[in-house]
Amino acid sequence: MKEKPNSLRYLRGLLVNTCCLGALLTSSPSVAKTFTTTSTDVVRTPGVGFQASISHPPTLAELNSCNFDDNDVHLEEAGLKSGSRYVRLMWQDFEPEDDDFGEGANDAYGINMLRRILDCSHAEGKAVDLRIQLAWPKFPTNKNASRNFPVGEQHSLGLPNWLLAKPNLYAHWSEVGSPGFPYYVADWSNTVLWNEHAELIQKLGNEFDGHRALNAIDIGSVGFFGEWHYDLGPGLQMPVNPGDPDPRPSIQRQQDIVDLYYASFPNTPKMALEEPFYRATAYSPVQSEPANYIKNQANVGWRGDSWGGAVEYENGDLDRGYFNNRYNDQHVGLIADLWQTGQISTEISGDSLALWEPGSPTAGNFDYLWNSINKAIAWHVTNINSKLGPIPQNQGFRNDLSYLAKKLGFRLVLWSAEQASNTVAAGESLNVSMTWENKGIAPPYRDFRVAFRLKDASNSIVDFSSTISDLSVKGWLPGPAFYNSATYNVPAGIAPGNYTLEIGLVFHNALDTVLPIVVDSSQRNADFWVPLDTNGLTVTSGSTPKSGFSRIISGTSDTANQGSSSYNPDTWRIIDDLEVTGNWNNGGDEENAFVSLYLDQPRKVTSVQYYDNHARRISVGVFDANDDWVHGIEEVVTQPGLNIINFPSQASSGGEVIGTRVSVWSHLDFGYVNANGQLWLAPYEIDVFGWPQ
């Protein structure tokens, strides 16, 4: 991989001094600050709480405006402050035609649809749980418009038509729950179906695994609604007739499906639907095999799809606590400890929480409200799909839901923080000790970390002062307060002066994805970063490193747009060889979608930190003074925010990774593409880390 050197324009390179990151200044006294938390308000936390729900593909207008028909407005009006959105969609919503995954900017399906939902959710402080479905019996008549079905007619949805038309495709024919509207469901032994389904899941994983706004994915696909069952109640199960084929996958295929989701989404929390655990407690021993296989996977949780649901038996008796008792039996006897490492989620029984209102004519069709609340707390639930419909004005009912909303998931309280010193040199490190408490009922399941930044006397964030530490909150269990510490590596370029140090909790590679730190509002910022003492940290000039980095500023300057009022030398843009266009686009030319940084002398490159507003697939290469390829990291999937690409200690040729130029490419099949189909690259910052030769 090598591009022409005369087609590049130098933007800016930054080589940060890290030779003495372990040094700690202790000549000045430590500074401690304690915090209080008296508020009992519901706090919007990404991935946590009562969920807004998308179960039908939004229109392009809804995607572009982030205005979804998902119950969010009702949750907000009731003060429940949803931090989570549940997206349950069909195979054809992602691939309406064979190999058409909706990657265009104007596609209201597939990749672009899910990307817009994730981006909108992130902007609202939410994160998304995702499920893929292959069968929806009795598709609701009030949602026909989004599927171009006749108004008022009941339909069932199964496999995409293009799939059914493929040679050698076999599927099961079903009329369950939909007289007059039969449809096909998956035959998991069919190789054509398996291969096409695997391609879909792998495609989604390649695009979205580890995305900052993807909170978790269900191990779905199988059964009605992707819930791993083919049962709609008495007389409505598959197989319909004795001797009909059983649509459930074989034990081996069930394990294959679990493996597929784990391989495709290795960096995303995963949940199994409750049905396999139910079969393990209620059926023959052989049915325990899938449940045991799932339990043995790393960091897996479970989702129950009928929290509070009742069952009416054939004799007319109503068991109001059926599903709560069923889930509780499994929690106590089979999966009691899964919550410590895997997310637990539920979905209300019925179409709306309004049906649950105590005293209403429909309340008797569900378990007692407080029994459901206590069960959710006992199971350590993180979020609950609230489906659609307004929340009744009954204040007592709302207070009960609010009580649960404040318990769900995690609630990270900061009780104290102490700087090891009130003086530190630029390029050095500062230890910060903290006391935390998780006052929720579950731990965080994603890799959010303690981060630091500086503010100056005008209360403005100091450029390039924000850093993400190695201290992750993932797995912080509820319980007594605990002590830990993190290191703030003060960037070498920070000017001497007095600053306020602030603490935040951010996604491990995205500074703009923040978890709330729970302290009183007077002690935090609106963005939930928490300041220590005002102007309580003095940064002094750093000493010249004896070895290690020096800042790299030399090279050809970006002067192409200096005459423009919009020119900003601190903003990184991809520059075309002859001109700067309005979008800094590259005409869809993959080979020109790169930016290069020229180093002042041959350097051993150890890592590149890449900041951007878009998810991409990028490659990073190091070249020597003769413009020859030394080493590279190819096709790294990045997420919006900070991405760290580490280089090995040796190049592929066997020597060290030493070069005078570092180049970053964005690949056309994954980069941000504008409405004209043009690829463009606009990183906010690129930092190169390394050593002198």
For residue 422, the domain's CATH number is 2.60.40.770
> Mean pLDDT score of the chain, rounded to an integer?
82
What residue numbers bound the domain in which 135 lies? Answer: 49-407
Q: What angle, 0 to 180 degrees and rounded to 10, lies between the N-to-C axes of helices 322-333 and 275-282?
A: 80
Residue 406's pLDDT band, with cuts at 50, 70 and 90, is: very high
Residue-wise pLDDT tens digits, 48-58:
999 999 999 99
Name the percent of the chain lying above pLDDT 70.
81
The answer to the question of residue 163 being in a domain is yes
- Give yes or no: residues 370 and 469 share one domain: no
Of the pLDDT bands very low, low, confident and very high (cuts 50, 70, 90), residue 677 is: very low
Among candidate residues 377, 407, 437, the one where a domain is terminated:
407
- 532 within some domain: yes
What pLDDT, in 10s, does the model give residues 352-403? Answer: 999 999 999 999 999 999 999 999 999 999 999 999 888 999 999 999 999 9
Residue 456 in domain: yes
Distance CA 560, CA 557 (A): 9
Considering 384-398, 534-548, 661-675, the range whose residues carry the highest mean pLDDT is 384-398
Q: Can you give the pLDDT at residue 480?
A: 94
Q: Based on the fold, state whether residues 281 and 426 are members of the same structural domain.
A: no
Q: Which of 347, 375, 407 is the last residue of a domain?
A: 407
Give the global pTM.
Answer: 0.78
Q: What is the CATH number of the domain that holds 564?
A: 2.60.120
Q: For the segment 445-490, what is each residue's pLDDT rounded down to a tens digit?
A: 999 999 999 999 999 998 778 888 989 999 999 999 999 999 998 8
> What pLDDT score does 11 carry?
23
Specify whether 189 is located in the same domain as 257.
yes
pLDDT band at residue 28 using 50, 70 and 90 as cut-offs:
low
Asked if the model's pLDDT at residue 320 lies above 80, the reply is: yes
What is the structure's pLDDT at 692? 60
Within this chain, do residues 552 and 629 fall inside the same structural domain, yes or no?
Answer: yes
**Do 523 and 609 sit in the same domain of this protein?**
no
In this model, does residue 662 exceed pLDDT 60?
Answer: yes
Query: Are 607 and 640 found together in one domain?
Result: yes
Which of 407, 441, 456 is where one domain is finished?
Answer: 407
Please indicate whether residue 109 or residue 633 has the higher confidence score (pLDDT). Answer: 109
- Phi/psi for 640 (5° steps) reads -55, 135
Number of Cβ within 10 Å of residue 416's Cβ equals: 14
Nearest to 551 by CA among 6, 15, 13, 145: 15
Is there a single domain that holds both residue 88 and residue 148?
yes
Asked if the bond preceding 640 is cis, omega within 30° of 0, the reply is no
Confidence of residue 558 (pLDDT cuts 50, 70, 90): very low
The per-residue pLDDT for 382 is 98
Same domain, 577 and 456: no
Task: With a cut of 80, say whether residue 512 has pLDDT above it.
Answer: yes
Please report whether residue 26 resides in a domain. no
> What is the pLDDT at residue 564?
34
Average pLDDT value for residue range 304-330: 93
| pLDDT at 427 (0 to 100) | 81
* Residue 151 placed within a domain: yes
Flag whether pLDDT at 633 surpasses 60: yes
Instruction: Please indicate, yes or no, whether residues 36 and 53 belong to a single structural domain of this protein.
Output: no
Instruction: Please tell me which residue, 403 or 27, carries the higher pLDDT value.
Output: 403
How many other β-carbons are positioned within 10 Å of the β-carbon of residue 351? 11
Mean pLDDT of 129-152: 85
Worst-scoring range by mean pLDDT, 100-114, 271-285, 509-523, 589-603? 589-603
Q: What pLDDT score was predicted for residue 612?
A: 63
**Reported confidence tier of residue 30, pLDDT bands at 50, 70, 90:** low
Q: What pLDDT was estimated at residue 595?
A: 67
pLDDT digits (tens, 9 = 90+) for 593-623: 566 676 667 778 877 777 666 667 778 888 8
| CB-based contact 23:423 (threshold 8 Å) | no
301 neighbors 271 (Cβ within 8 angstroms):
yes
Q: What span, in angstroms and rounded, lies between the C-alpha atoms of 247 and 193?
A: 13
25 in any annotated domain: no
Q: Flag whether pLDDT at 559 surpasses 60.
A: no
For residues 491-505, average pLDDT? 90
Q: Indicate if 356 and 385 belong to the same structural domain.
A: yes
- Mean pLDDT (whole number) for 242-266: 93
Rounded Cα distance between 369 and 356, Å, is: 7
Neighbours of 233 (CB within 10 A): 9
* Residue 23 covered by a domain: no
Residue carrying the six token digits 């007289």: 179
Do 594 and 660 belong together in one domain? yes
pLDDT at 291: 92
Look up the CATH number of the domain holding residue 344.
3.20.20.80
Can you give the pLDDT at residue 145?
Answer: 75
Burial string for 301-324 (b: 16+ CB within 10 Å, else e) reads bbbbbbbbbbeeeeeeeeebbbbb
Residue 24: inside a domain:
no
The total number of structural domains that make up the chain: 3
Reading the block at residue 5, the tokens are 């050197």
Q: Tell whether 482 and 390 lie within a shared domain.
A: no
